[in-house]
Amino acid sequence: MNLDHSQFLKLFLHAQPSIRAYLFAMLRNADAEEDVFQEVALVLWERFGDYKQELPFTHWALGIARNHAVRWRSNKGRRQVWLTLEVEAQLVQASEDLEDELATRRHALDVCVQRLGDRARELLKMRYEQEHSLQDMADNLRMSHNAVNKALVKIRKFLLDCTAQLERASSHPTGGVEL
């Protein structure tokens, strides 16, 4: 079935978190993930006419994403070590399964970040906005590397729990939590 391209954006936005998470798992590098994702997005757009509605869009998109990631890796050389093909194939299924959940979690992330304390938000800014390495952060904050790592782990865990809570509330509107 040839879908109207106007439907592309809706499907694409919904599948985007799953695609990106999968690409990061395959490429082990955020910049590489971003590059390949851009390629994938363009290809998905160009080939949207070939997409068969009988299949889940995410399934189709993950297939294309995987091909591009494999090509990127083959250009990269053999020095890097990757997850095994078996695990990568299993992650496709996990990404598909979580498509709806991830989309909702992303929507909830803003709320959860606001619930963080100033110190935690400062750490996130250093890590994600200024792209400091953990060691740089430790040096700047006069903390140990281990302490920074633990702090980030705790923050991520809080955000995961928080977005999960809001995601569940979203799935069951009677819970009364407003995203």
Amino acid identity, position 16:
Q
Give least dist CB 172 to another protein, A: 19
Alpha-carbon span 147 to 39, nearest angstrom: 37
Written in H, E and C, the secondary structure of 16-32 is HHHHHHHHHHHHCCHHH
Which of residues 74 and 174 has its CB atom nearest to another protein in the complex? Answer: 74
Angle (deg, nearest 10), helices 8-27 and 99-114? 80
The token pair at 110 is 């803003």
38 part of the interface to another protein, by CB under 8 A: yes
Is there binding between residue 29 and another protein (CB under 8 A)? Answer: yes
Cα–Cα distance measured from residue 170 to residue 179, given in angstroms and rounded to the nearest whole number: 8
Q: Which of residues 125-144 bind another protein (CB under 8 A)?
A: 125, 127-129, 131, 134
With binding defined as CB under 8 A, does residue 13 bind another protein? yes
Residue 84 interacts with another protein (CB under 8 A): yes or no: yes
Q: How far apart are CA 93 and CA 55, in angstroms?
A: 14
Residues that bind another protein (CB under 8 A): 5-6, 8-9, 12-13, 17-18, 20-22, 24-25, 28-30, 33-35, 38-39, 41-42, 45, 50, 71-72, 75, 81, 83-84, 86-87, 90-91, 93-95, 97-98, 101-102, 105-107, 109-110, 113, 124-125, 127-129, 131, 134, 149, 152-153, 156-157, 159-160, 163-164
